């Protein structure tokens, strides 16, 4: 069997296994590299060369930057701005704003990250505006696909295409050069969604709906009855407590009052200083009249008429939040004593309230039982770390709550600044893309926007390993002549040597394969074929490579084409046929852009 036949067998086996989807894609991808080595098509170093490629490192760093923007509430803020600007009456404005936001976010933080962040926001918005999520979710995803071509960082395929252009002896495709083709793609998706969406998309509700945490603090305050017996008092400059240690405060002189917590006035977190100062807050439980007497005696600011709002601001803000936990059966905490105002063993969480059977147990110490729920307050970081304890069940993930309910949280502007710096380095080319990405990750960790563990968890290792393991396939296709053979077929199909027909052929080959397997894996297979075809025809490979990038983004016809297509399937109530029905006009538009607009910018 010749090398080309072996190469064809490996590619065919990989495609079949990707479509079959019973074996993890990482195993299939690494099996490709191993097969190339075992069959002698590549040396061991060549078969593993992808794991040392700078493009792979850059792709990994993009996931960390994306997670930083999401975790700090930047995407939540963007979603809230979307809700405010959308209005209730204009369907066109609503769909246009959703599509634009999805496209821009994808260009900055990757396709999966943008859709994961916007999905709950758009579902909640649809419910509030009395619209079917099925009318909004698929246009949002398809706009995000188009938005992936607004910048180099939009998708790993862009990075691969840019690197392939440089490897072919041409200049690398610039950071904002993708925008030239991305803008008409996004505008076309918006136009199709507005003009045809109502007829082509189903009118149905999804099987699953994302929870709305935008009013989570109010919900917890009402659930635990805090607004009737919990008050926030602020230390004035004239208060005798200023400069005193927390232990100096005695509330026993005021009947029925209990000191629950003392919060730092600057950070909103539990006070860790040795002395109280002006602006700090006291959280006390009891009767409003007694709280007012305490405020008068100690010169504390107290607004009974706005106590609900003050309480929410104190418990739930950019720095700290609330979490509800339940004591599960067989927990080691069963039988332990707990009470309102108790500080946990870790020293950074405070028990705000305890309920048993849905009723408050009061302020006196109680022995915990299975099924009891506790409301805990502390910094977001402490809630993330401490509530990983298997002895409690977390009702709602603090991380998920914070992303929806706390726009522009702690570290948000730092994350935005790091992103801006990375874009500047990438746009100007002052440093290689991998270096810019690594510097951004270093900055996010050193500035404590994300921890090392969070950065590690943020990386989609399936994508990273898939790209690294499949990269040697391109080398093998070139070395064995398989790329040249496929290229000759494309050139022959061009019938007379028309480069426009070549672009159409490359687009269709890429788009069809992209409906079945990962668009990243598709690009890795087609890129060497496209470059070889352009070389055979004697034209520049740049328009061919850009056509591959556009076609790889046109993953519209099946729910399995991309993870984001699957993400919206159940919330949108979509069926398999809904995708191709709405996706065909989108794919036609992408084909027109690839064949007729791309060559106007990247000349043959």
- DSSP readout, 512-534? HHHTTS-HHHHHHHHHHHHHHHH
Architecture per CATH, 320-399: 2-Layer Sandwich (3.30)
Q: Express each pLDDT in 241-275 by its tens digit.
A: 899 888 888 777 777 788 888 888 877 778 888 89
DSSP label at residue 343: B
Q: What is the pLDDT of residue 406?
A: 74
CATH number of 216-315: 3.30.70.1450
What are the tokens at 322? 């609330």
DSSP per-residue codes, 227-289 = HHHEEEEEE-TT-TTTTS-GGG---TTSTT-EEEEEE-TTT-SBP-SSS--TT-EEEEES-HH
- CA–CA separation, 501 vs 503, rounded Å? 5
The single-letter DSSP state of residue 390 is T
Task: Report, as ranges of residue numbers, the positions in the chain whose pLDDT lies below 70.
Answer: 1, 21, 79, 82-83, 86-89, 113, 117, 205-212, 214, 303-308, 310, 404, 494-497, 560
Q: Please choose, from the candidates 528, 532, 522, the residue with its C-alpha nearest in 3D space to the C-alpha of residue 491.
A: 532
Q: Which has the closest alpha carbon to 193: 123, 128, 136, 236? A: 136
**CB distance 46 to 471 below 8 Å:** no
Tens digits of per-residue pLDDT, 516-563?
777 887 888 888 888 888 888 888 999 999 999 999 999 888 776 777
Tokens of 119: 């999905």
Looking at the chain, which residues constitute the CATH 3.30.70.1450 domain(s)? 216-315, 320-399
328 touches 197 (CB < 8 A): no
Size of the chain, expressed as the number of residues it contains = 604
Q: CA-to-CA distance for 512 and 14, rounded, in angstroms?
A: 16
The C-alpha atoms of residue 502 and residue 499 are separated, in whole angstroms, by 5
Cα–Cα distance, 192 to 100 (Å, whole number)? 14
Within a 10 A sphere around the Cβ of 147, how many other Cβ atoms? Answer: 29
Question: What is the structure's pLDDT at 206?
Answer: 59
Spatial CB neighbours of 130, under 8 Å, sequence gap ≥ 6: none
């Amino acid at each position: 069997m010749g090398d080309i036949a072996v190469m064809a067998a490996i590619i065919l086996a990989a495609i079949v296994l990707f479509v079959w989807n019973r074996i993890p894609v990482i195993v299939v991808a690494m099996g490709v590299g191993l097969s190339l080595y075992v069959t002698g098509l590549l040396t061991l170093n060549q078969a593993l060369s992808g794991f040392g490629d700078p493009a792979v490192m850059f792709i990994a760093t993009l996931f960390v930057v994306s997670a930083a923007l999401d975790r700090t509430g930047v995407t939540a803020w963007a979603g809230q701005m979307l809700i405010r600007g959308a209005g209730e009456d204009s369907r066109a404005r609503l769909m246009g704003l959703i599509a634009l936001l999805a496209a821009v976010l994808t260009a900055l933080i990757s396709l999966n990250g943008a859709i994961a962040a916007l999905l709950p926001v758009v579902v909640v918005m649809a419910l509030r505006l009395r619209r079917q999520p099925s009318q909004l979710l698929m246009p949002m995803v398809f706009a995000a696909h188009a938005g992936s071509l607004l910048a180099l960082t939009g998708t790993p395929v862009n990075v691969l295409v840019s690197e392939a252009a440089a490897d072919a002896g041409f200049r690398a495709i610039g950071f904002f050069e993708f925008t030239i083709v991305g803008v008409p793609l996004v505008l076309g998706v918006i136009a199709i969604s507005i003009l045809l969406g109502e007829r082509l998309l189903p009118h149905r509700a999804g099987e699953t709906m994302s929870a709305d945490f935008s009013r989570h603090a109010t919900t917890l305050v009402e659930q635990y009855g805090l607004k009737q017996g919990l008050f926030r008092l602020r230390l004035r400059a004239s208060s005798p407590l200023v400069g005193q240690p927390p232990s100096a405060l005695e509330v026993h002189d005021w009947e029925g009052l209990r000191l629950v917590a003392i919060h730092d006035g600057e950070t909103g977190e539990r006070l860790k200083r040795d002395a109280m100062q002006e602006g700090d807050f006291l959280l006390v439980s009891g009767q409003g009249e007694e709280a007012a007497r305490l405020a008068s005696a100690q010169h504390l600011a107290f607004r009974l008429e706005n106590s609900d709002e003050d309480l929410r601001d104190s418990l739930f803000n950019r720095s700290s939040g609330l979490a509800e936990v339940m004591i599960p059966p067989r927990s080691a905490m069963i039988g332990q004593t707990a009470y309102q105002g108790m500080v946990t063993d870790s020293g950074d969480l405070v028990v705000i309230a305890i309920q048993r059977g849905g009723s408050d147990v009061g302020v006196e110490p109680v022995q915990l039982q299975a099924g009891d729920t506790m409301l805990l307050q502390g910094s977001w970081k402490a809630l993330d770390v401490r509530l990983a304890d298997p002895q409690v069940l977390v009702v709602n993930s603090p991380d998920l709550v914070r992303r929806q309910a706390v726009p522009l949280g702690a570290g948000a502007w730092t994350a935005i600044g790091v992103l801006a710096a990375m874009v500047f380095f990438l746009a100007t080319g002052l440093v290689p893309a991998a270096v810019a990405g690594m510097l951004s990750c270093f900055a996010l960790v050193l500035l404590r926007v994300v921890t090392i563990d969070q950065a590690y968890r943020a990386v989609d290792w399936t994508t990273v390993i898939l790209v690294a393991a499949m990269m040697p396939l391109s080398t093998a296709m070139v070395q064995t002549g398989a790329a040249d053979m496929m290229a000759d077929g494309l050139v022959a199909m061009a019938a007379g040597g028309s480069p426009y027909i070549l672009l159409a052929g490359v687009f269709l080959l890429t788009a069809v394969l992209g409906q079945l397997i990962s668009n990243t894996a598709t690009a890795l297979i087609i890129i060497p074929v496209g470059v070889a075809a352009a070389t055979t025809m004697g034209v520049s490979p740049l328009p061919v490579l850009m056509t591959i990038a556009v076609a790889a983004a046109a993953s519209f016809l099946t729910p399995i084409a991309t993870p984001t297509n699957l993400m919206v399937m159940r919330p949108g109530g979509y069926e398999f046929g809904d995708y191709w029905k709405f996706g065909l006009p989108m794919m036609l538009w992408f084909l027109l852009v690839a064949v007729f607009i791309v060559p106007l910018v990247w000349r043959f």
